[in-house]
Amino acid sequence: MASSESSKTVFLAMSVNFSIGVAKSIIATITMSSAMFSEAVHSFVDTGNQFLLWFGIKQAKKSNPKIYPLGRGREEYFWTLVVAVLIFTIGGLVSLEHGIESLSHPKKLENLSISLTLLIVSIILESYVLKKAISELKRGKAKNKGILKLLKESTDGPLIAIVVEDFAATLGLIFALVGTVLSFITQNSVYDSISAISIGILLMVSGIFLGYEMKHLITGESISNEKLKKIKQLISSNEQVLNLSNLKILPIGSNQYLALINLDYRDSLKDEEIITVNSSLINSIKNSEPSISEIYFNPQ
């Protein structure tokens, strides 16, 4: 289940994006800038997306053991997948279409100095949110791991979405800044249009990447090989276990896994002793990997 820190990061990103989106809309109207229009769309799409992520976090925390015996943690993945679709369609396609339209029918850009000021402030704010999200992603992880690997290993859908969204937002703002500067210097709106098209493509790629990551989590991608080997070794090292015939570890929510373990115990063990062995293994597994919250044994 998403931590309170992830929820705070989502809310921070939502607040920042809404504020920036309002400012961008006003500036886009004043300057007639396509890149600024694309960025305004980008910010409002991100705001809506982050609301959906926040809603998903709240839904995942609801408990109904009769209907959802393993909890509703995986509901976060559904809402994050919805976010990926919205980034691709509303964010990417609308920005791309507007950029192509402005390239075909160029308009005179005005008051670009205002755009430059807003873009610089927006880059600073989005970079701050991105830094916070990356810090949360790295929490408790090895320092030598890259961001891409951490994203692939994480099971925190909303946090993955925030990192991807804010990386795209920061890079998109840089595209818009470059296009605005070139348009300001040359008084040629083609650079502004190219920026808008680039932002649209960036959002579409971001949506595809996020959707791809959610597909793996929804379909039950296992824990990392490194952790899987560690758990296997821990179970096999127990003297009362003759053979570990099968081990499946599947995500059931943010930082939550389900372990299904097929074991062959020593023939001399009685039922009470098997229960004791299982209890010992559960404690050892949870101490080694706290994210494994549900453990089930199937004797062979």
What are the sequence ranges of the domains in the chain?
4-218, 225-299
pLDDT for the residue 1: 40
Report phi then psi at 155, rounded to 5. Answer: -110, 10
Give the residue among 45, 10, 17 at the shortest CA–CA distance from 162.
10
CA distance 13 to 47: 8
Which residue has tokens 């873009």? 119
Query: Per residue in 162-174, is it b (16+ CB within 10 Å) or e — as a string?
Result: bbbbbbbbbbbbb
pLDDT for the residue 4: 61
Q: In the chain, which ranges are continuous DSSP H helix?
A: 4-31, 34-61, 75-86, 94-104, 112-138, 147-153, 157-186, 190-218, 225-236, 271-288
Choose the CATH number for 225-299 among 3.30.70.1350, 3.20.20.70, 3.40.190.10, 3.40.50.720: 3.30.70.1350
Q: Which fold has domain 4-218?
A: Alpha-lytic protease prodomain-like (1.20.1510)
Structure-token pair, residue 245: 């015939």
pLDDT for the residue 296: 93
Reported pTM: 0.82
CA angle (219 as vertex; 217, 223 as ends), nearest 5: 50
pLDDT digits (tens, 9 = 90+) for 204-259: 999 999 999 999 888 888 888 888 899 999 999 988 888 898 999 999 888 889 99
End-to-end CA distance of the chain: give it in Å, rounded. Answer: 32
Q: What is the pLDDT along the chain (300 residues), one digit of tens a residue?
A: 445 667 888 888 898 889 999 998 998 888 888 878 888 888 898 898 889 888 888 888 887 778 888 888 888 899 999 999 988 888 888 888 888 888 888 777 777 778 888 889 989 998 998 998 899 888 877 777 888 888 988 888 889 999 998 999 899 999 989 988 898 888 888 888 899 899 899 999 999 999 999 998 888 888 888 888 999 999 999 888 888 989 999 998 888 899 999 999 888 888 888 999 999 999 999 999 988 989 999 887
Structure-token pair, residue 136: 């949360």
Residues 6+ apart with CB under 8 A from 130: 163, 166, 167, 169, 170
Structure-token pair, residue 282: 């559960």
CA distance 217 to 254: 10
Residue 12, class by beta-carbon neighbours within 10 Å (0-12 exposed, 13-18 middle, 19+ buried)? middle
